[in-house]
Structure 1
Amino acid sequence: MGKLDDRVIIVTGAARGQGEQEARLFAAEGAKVVVADVLDSQGEALVEEIGADAGVRDGKGGALYVHLDVGREEDWQAAVATAKDAFGKVDGLVNNAGILRFNELLATPLAEFQQIIQVNQIGCFLGIRTVAPEIADAGGGTIVNTASYAALTGMAYVGAYAATKHAVLGLTRVAALELASRRIRVNALCPGAVDTAMTNPAQLDPGADPEAARGAVAELYRKLVPMGRIGTPQEIAALALFLTGEDSSYITGQPFVVDGGWLAGVSVL
């Protein structure tokens, strides 16, 4: 018996990185997963893999792909309609999609700042507003928003990103208060450095050596993080599973930091 049997969960930004691992884990735990992204070929390939996985062949898990630009209201409406047509309901959401740009605050163009707001902040808002009524109609469920380590502290050169992630945390708390009576729990993941292409864009450079790129980032976080390493997408997915399943049944409105101890403080050693 899986921890998410009979659940139907939308995961945004699920074609790669943290979202991919969340989709894989949720399906393995019995959920019907709606893999939502703008990376169509990668998302469709992931759904094929999940469908062929031995862990979901018993019909208790599975996946479908929907194209979803989280900043577009019409895309959200279409994604929910597709999910309901396929599975009959929606009772969970992981607002995972997000973008990161590195730039000094005073050098950040307005268009770049607005783009980050559109995806990270407005995308999260639209997800909550569109999906929460469906979750309520299904009898209740969960929303997990992906905030960040940077939602709880400052970080130089990611000002726009940090601003949006602070906003996501605020949305999470308000949604938890307003949706509790509708049997919807809302919590936030706050990852630190995670070994994905968003943290390390060099992974996407076809001319770069991916192992060298990973090695340089790994060395940086070996020094910064008390546990001496960067996190893995699988570790973030495990926390998303906890917040989506019944193991967290009395938890709502909370940020959950998963950062190897980075936020705890400064070490002099």
Structure 2
Amino acid sequence: YRLKLGRAYSNRDEKLRKSDVLACCGNDGIALSHSGPCAMGVDVGKVKHVVILTKLPKERYEIIRAIKIPSGPEGWNQISDLAKKYNVQSTVIDIRPYEDEARAYQRAHGGDVANPATFLCEYSDTQMTDFSFNNNTGVVKVHRTGIFDQTHRLFSMEKIILPRQCPETEEFARQCCNCARFEEKDKRRNIIVNRYRPTGDRQEHFRNALNYGIVACSGHRVGTVSRYKVQTYTEVDNEYDRN
């Protein structure tokens, strides 16, 4: 780990700063709906973290919502409702720790076999390609370090747009910064590798949900949209506190 070098900090190439993420905030409020097409990433736990986004031209993205779904039996139904409100066409969901629940959602929102609308994500530290979609299993395997590097670059190069600063975007930004890239020795292969590990309070759920959302946007899974597609915005900036 970097600490072995006697440095108890990470530089901007290894760890995002909250100010870097909030610098990507635009002037628009939180959209309560969107005409899409949108993609959605879901980090699964007792509390589910959902990121809904659109793909813009020139490999840019816009975050439409970053919302926590409280624990409880209605959580998946709330995610289904969000998918309808934001015209979500492609979804990637964390396969663990509740694979049975994620599979049930996938069956209900899977699309056709030839072009599935929902995939479950499995991170891999050894995969050579960035993404590998398997239509038969409904699983997409993702190179973990690669997707963290990609979302890091999106913020550092300001290729991602957030809603204007508010409690929801601040919590999203905080969690996106709760991980850093470290050098580790892969004992099995006897090589030095770079891996992202949680830092701070280890709450990195929104960063993972963003990773899944970017995977959901990949290829031709969702089309690019204009930033001026019809949206309905909140009139206040405390929508995060209401959910």
Instruction: Flag the structure with higher helix content.
Output: 1
Q: TM-score range by the shorter chain?
A: 0.3 to 0.5
More strand per residue: 1 or 2? Answer: 2
